[in-house]
Structure 1
């Protein structure tokens, strides 16, 4: 496997380093990554045609996100790994996506889908960790064995 996109590689390395954080968060312990609240996000930047390092016969499928609720960020889903990596980097810079506090899939496209699903459900806090509702959902998932 060759990593052509350094942003995607950074996201994957960071996600891999965050193993075990989900269990720590489910126990109610802080992972130690604290800081000031992140600024609110506006509309995600438009995807650049040169964002992909490989050519495709068709444009990547995207799902437009609904308007943000309160100060939540908009999340633009895509099936393009490079664009998904860029979106995760944008969300991480704003403080919303923190793989040191919540464990995500190693694949950028899947991690972005997880983030959006959990954000829309109200499970992700401004600091990128779990909200109380998110911790309760993690506990329910751990007890039932069903994925979150």
Structure 2
């Protein structure tokens, strides 16, 4: 009788493991096919303060980082970088370009792009302290 109970428990555990495995594989397949995929952003350039004159438009911009996320170019203002990362890249950039380059490389490693929010410019990044939570950085489409 004891052997029968052990066999039943073992059988149920195997069934449960099989069901969990199938559910995990199913969810993984569905999420990989969904449009909510995260993509890595690539840092294109640091844009200093500039004024662009056009026949119909005058565009005055402050310091920005230009990043390529998927097939879209985005501008992230320095103020967003300073606010979220607590570093003043303008100061680094003007006084120590090598330190600025190291900071930018660290930043680029954390930039991700969440496709469904691309109309609002929701570029996500991982925190500097290794926390897995993602936080949004305000950005605008590059014109």
Give the TM-score, by structure 2 length.
0.25
RCO greater where, 1 or 2, for CA within 8 Å and sep 6 or more?
1
In proportion to residue count, which structure has more strand? 2
Q: Work out which of the two has the higher radius of gyration on C-alpha atoms and give 1 or 2.
A: 2
Give the TM-score, by structure 1 length.
0.24
In proportion to residue count, which structure has more helix? 2
